[in-house]
Amino acid sequence: YSEDEQTEDYLFKIVLIGDSAVGKSNLLARFARDEFYPNSKSTIGVEFQTQKMDINGKEVKAQIWDTAGQERFRAVTSAYYRGAVGALLVYDISRRQTFDSIGRWLNELHTHSDMNVVTILVGNKSDLKDAREVTTAEGKALAEAQGLFFMETSALDSSNVSAAFQTVVREIYNILS
């Protein structure tokens, strides 16, 4: 193989979507910086963060976009979705209402981006066991029905956070390479 091949650049745009306060910004903070904000407000949202990842020995850059809180007003713009090849569709396992919104988010995603965008359904806050309102089986069933990957995560205790991002990036890489 050539030197060129080794330094080949992969840059994948990935968007975080889902209702307000499901933990999107904290998933990104945990994944990119290993940080967690117990009382975060929408102000911690950055436009995007670029994270280097190793996929099958290749360096891949995931450009992960976070909202700045505009989802509260259902005002995520088409520019946010433009060019996205991956998406994390996040709900909060302790708030059923956020799970009920998933269909709307999926519609919005498909309106503004390619139908083939690699999507994972993410049930966040898996640490809140006593407050659970959405079962793992329900999440799994919805994901299967919609052809999405599925994982439950906790930005608080870190469980499955890297795995969720990696699942999306690996699948994109496999499709495009």
- Which residue ranges make up the site for ligand GDP (CB under 6 A)? 20-26, 37-40, 42, 124-125, 127-128, 154-156
Q: Cα(18)–Cα(6) distance, rounded to whole angstroms?
A: 36
Pick the closer one to ligand GDP by CB: 51 or 55. Answer: 51
Q: Cα(141)–Cα(158) distance, rounded to whole angstroms?
A: 24
User: Which listed option, Mg ion, ligand GDP, none, makes contact with residue 70 (CB within 5 to 8 Å by class)?
Assistant: none
Pick the closer one to ligand GDP by CB: 118 or 122. Answer: 122
| Distances in whole angstroms, Cα of residue 89 to Cα of each of 10, 18, 74, 149 | 22, 6, 15, 10
Nearest to 76 by CA among 115, 111, 43, 44: 111
**Of positions 17, 19, 25, 64, contacts Mg ion by CB under 5 A:** 25
For residue 135, the tally of other CB atoms under 10 A from its CB is 12
Residue with the two structure tokens 């052809």: 147
Pick the closer one to ligand GDP by CB: 51 or 154. Answer: 154
User: Counting contacts by CB under 5 A, is residue 139 touching Mg ion?
Assistant: no
Query: Is residue 41 within 8 Å of residue 72, measured between CB atoms?
Result: no
User: Which listed option, ligand GDP, Mg ion, none, makes contact with residue 127 (CB within 5 to 8 Å by class)?
Assistant: ligand GDP
Beta strands across the sheet bearing 149-152: 48-55, 58-65, 10-17, 86-92, 118-124, 149-152
- Work out how close the CB of 110 gets to ligand GDP at its nearest, in angstroms, rounded to a whole number: 20
- Work out how close the CB of 4 gets to ligand GDP at its nearest, in angstroms, rounded to a whole number: 39
- Work out how close the CB of 64 gets to Mg ion at its nearest, in angstroms, rounded to a whole number: 12
Q: How many residues bind Mg ion (CB under 5 A)?
A: 3
**Of positions 23, 45, 86, 123, contacts Mg ion by CB under 5 A:** 45
